[in-house]
Amino acid sequence: MSENSLHIISAYVEDASALRLRFFAENAELVDKTARTMAVSLARGGKLLFCGNGGSAADAQHLAAEFVNRFELERPPLPALALTTDSSILTAIGNDYGYDRVFAKQVQALAAPGDVVVGISTSGNSPNVLAALRAARDKGCATVGLAGRNGAIVPLCDYALLVPHERTALIQEVHITIGHLLCKLVDHYLFEAVMELGPYLEDR
């Protein structure tokens, strides 16, 4: 291994580790509130819908799979959808209405009041993710955004989880860690500490 390659590895890992530590030191309470909102929605018969583009589309599918199958805890399947997976729907909407509507029309069709819609966009400005969150607001859903430093996504979100960095790869690495923690915390609230949800389930 050359000194240059060793430096690339160590610098990248140090930057990524520092960013992750910083984000969770500053946002642990917000992550917990987001997970609790998801758990309340699921406990009331709601579902989770995820959307994003590129690597964020992969994250949407990844997280939906963790909820439907399982994360770490053995428990019943939980209803979650990735709006990125049906090529016929995506191409039909894209062809007839434009790419900006590919997620919004699915939210209009599939979401119900009380569901949680999660938009993932490293820039915080992806037009189709923003449109999905606007549609979610219109449907009476809770809205969650995973983004970078800032963007137009923020005012559309009940919970905006912003990773303070400019590098897409590092933002995405924190996003999937956030997603895994949301899975873990939702499982905790629904199957290990359900009594903690009691006051929130009564607060309609």
Evaluate whether 129 touches 52 at the Cβ level (below 8 Å): yes
Distance CA 101, CA 53 (A): 13
Res. 1: pLDDT tops 80: no
Query: Which CATH architecture is the domain 3-202 placed in?
Result: 3-Layer(aba) Sandwich (3.40)
DSSP-based three-state secondary structure for 97: helix
What are 81-113's pLDDT values in tens digits? 999 999 999 999 999 999 999 999 999 999 999
Q: Are 23 and 172 in contact (CB under 8 A)?
A: no
Q: What is the pLDDT of residue 193?
A: 78
Residue type at 133 in one-letter notation: L
The predicted structure's pLDDT at residue 32? 98
C-alpha dihedral sign at 104, 203, 71, 32? positive
Q: Is the pLDDT of residue 198 over 70?
A: no
Element (H, E) at 48: strand 48-52
Q: What pLDDT, on the 0 to 100 scale, is given for residue 150?
A: 85
Distances (CA, A) of 23 to 61, 93, 159, 178: 23, 36, 15, 10
- Domain ranges within the chain, ordered by starting residue: 3-202
